[in-house]
Structure formats: C-alpha cells, structure tokens
Amino acid sequence: MGFYEHVHPDNFSDDTSFCTYFVVLAFEIRLKKTINIKDLPNTYHSEWKWFDIEGLLESNEVHEFVKDFFRKSSVPIEPIYYNSRMANYIHFDQQMWSRIKTLLIIEGASLTAGYHFLGLKNSISSLIMIISIVLLLIIWALIKRDKENRDNNLLFFDEVRYRVNLHYAIQLPSLLYDAPKWRKGGILLNCIVIPGLIITNFILIYIFYKYPCLIK
C-alpha cells in the first residue's frame, strides 16, 4: 500500500526534548476465511475489533494514522513523487506567465504598429488589430490550458498539507482553499484583463477605420 510517516509528540521515556518517529510499511492481506478475533494475541493490543472502511473512517476509536491507510485520497509523503508533482506545477506556472508576457508584447506591438500606419492606410491599422485579436485568443486558450494543467496538482498538495499538519503539528496554508477569492480560478486574468484587451482592440479597429482623426 505504500509507506507512511507517523510522528508522535511524546516518547517511551517521557523526555520532552524529542518525539517518536515511525516509518510504517503498510500491507494489504486478503484472508481466505474469517478470523475469530478472540484467537488473536493480546500481548500488544488489549482488544481487537472488525470495521468496514466507512465505519472505520467515522469512528472516534480509530487513530488518524490508521485512517490514513484507508482514505482513498491518502497520499504517502514520498519525496520523489512530491518533487515530480512540484516540478510539474512550476513548469506550467512559469509557462503560463511566459505566455502572459508574450501576450502583452503582442498587444504593445500591435498598438504601436496600428498607430504608425494610421493616416497612411487606415485599413492596415485595422488589419493589424484584427491579427492581434486572433493571436490574443490563441494565447488566451493556451494560458487557460496551462492554468488547468498547473492546478491539477493542487488537490495533491493540499492532501500533503493535511498530512504534514496532522503529523508534525505545522499549520501550512492551503493552496486550494486559502487563496483570495479574486485569485481563485484566475478571475482577474481570464475574466477581466484579457477579455478587456480583446474588447479594446475591437473598439480600436472601428475607430482606426471609421474615425482615425480621433486618435491623430
């Protein structure tokens, strides 16, 4: 099933200067027949009890470390797996912001070129802005794809956060739930900034072609 880390704040000697750390290897055993729990040894455990998974997860008698073995979303904190997911997150995040820079460069170049040809050939100025809109739409689609691929990792990171908070008593922020509302889903970028640029370009196409004197 994987390996898990269990950290307890106390220890066998009641020495407060260190804790107890376990690396637990979890295995699933399939039984051919039901075991009578009365026949199980009680040297280490004083009592045994059968649970179904749903009842185990809801029970206050079962330690959270044990419940971890049965949670479908449980993620062992394995450095290699974590590092690969973090590298994937960083890759798509950097790629997304690189596309945003490209988008702003295209917008700036389009405005400069459109203004340059204004008064000479107004149709060229309008054509430049049309090309700019097409490029903005393409880059916008790529940005949304990059963001979706990046954010596919957030549930994994928040599961790791849950386990770190539980095992080490460290309160890490949640990437998925603690983010400001305006930042969730890329509202500012995907719903305001980029659509605003596209609408502005449509307006400039009309002005460049019909009323260039308003700009000059």
User: What pLDDT does 80 receive?
Assistant: 65
As a whole number of angstroms, the distance between CA 179 and CA 158 comes to 12
Residue 101 is assigned to a structural domain of this protein = yes
Q: Is residue 209 part of a domain?
A: yes
Residue 52 sits at the vertex; the CA angle it makes with 51 and 56, to the nearest 5 degrees, is: 65
CA distance 57 to 69: 10
Q: What is the number of structural domains in the chain?
A: 2
| 5 contacts 21 by C-beta, under 8 angstroms | yes
Do 40 and 88 lie in one domain? The reply is no
Nearest by Cα to 143 from 100, 198, 86, 85: 100
- pTM greater than 0.85 (yes/no): no
Same domain, 117 and 142: yes
Task: Identify whether residues 205 and 106 lie together within a single domain.
Answer: yes
Q: Is residue 73 in a domain?
A: no
Last-in-domain residue among 47, 68, 89: 68
**Same-domain pairing of 144 and 190:** yes
Q: Residue 188 gets which letter from DSSP?
A: I
Verify that 118 and 203 share a domain, yes or no: yes
Do 106 and 151 lie in a common domain? yes
For the segment 99-149, what is each residue's pLDDT rounded down to a tens digit? 989 999 999 999 888 888 876 666 788 888 899 999 999 999 999 898 888
Domain that holds residue 42: 2-68
pLDDT in tens, 170-187: 454 555 445 554 455 466
